[in-house]
């Protein structure tokens, strides 16, 4: 004997099989609300929860499945990087050099003592030349060599 379902159950069953939805919201909010309002029976509620879980899109896979997929993808990326490194070494014939920090960064106009230049600081000024600050120890220099040449020594 076939069980006769309510109109709400039939509508929700169609919705769950034909559209995308937020599984968590469906199971924790929408279906319980229908049950509490008496629009579906507890048996219909149980069936709809099963249908919702079965028809949820892949983006609602379990955490374990998501972690496994991420781990697999990371391993694949790691393998590709290793292969690319090998190709680069093969083409260049040497290990790649470590990047060096620019010893003479581009001049930046200081706005206060906290970002001023001090004795020993180095920079590349707007004229393209490299300078080292030779101001007295503890003296904050907020102007470049064109304004305060006595506090700057041209390196090149």
pLDDT in tens, 31-56: 999 999 999 999 999 999 999 888 87
In sequence order, what are the residues at sequence separation of 6 or more whose Cβ sits closer than 8 angstroms to the Cβ of residue 139? 118, 119, 151
When mean pLDDT is compared across 54-58, 77-81, 100-104, 150-154, the lowest value belongs to 54-58
What are the Cα distances from residue 7, in Å, to 11, 39, 41?
6, 9, 11
Nearest to 7 by CA among 58, 32, 36, 44: 44
Please state the pTM of the whole predicted model.
0.38
pLDDT band, residue 88 (cuts 50/70/90): confident
């Amino acid at each position: 004997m076939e069980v006769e379902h309510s109109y709400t159950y039939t509508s929700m069953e169609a919705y769950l099989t034909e559209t995308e939805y937020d599984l968590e919201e469906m199971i924790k909010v929408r279906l319980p609300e229908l049950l509490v309002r008496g629009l579906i029976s507890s048996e219909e509620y149980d069936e709809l929860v099963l249908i919702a879980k079965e028809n949820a899109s892949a983006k609602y896979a379990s955490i374990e499945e998501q972690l496994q997929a991420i781990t697999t993808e990371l391993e694949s990326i790691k393998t590709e990087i290793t292969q690319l490194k090998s190709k680069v070494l093969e083409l260049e014939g040497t290990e790649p050099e470590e990047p060096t920090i620019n010893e003479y960064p581009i001049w930046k106009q200081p706005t206060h003592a906290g970002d001023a230049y001090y004795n020993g600081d180095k920079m590349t000024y707007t004229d393209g030349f490299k300078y080292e600050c030779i101001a007295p120890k503890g003296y904050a220099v907020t102007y470049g060599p064109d304004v305060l040449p006595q506090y700057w020594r041209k390196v090149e």
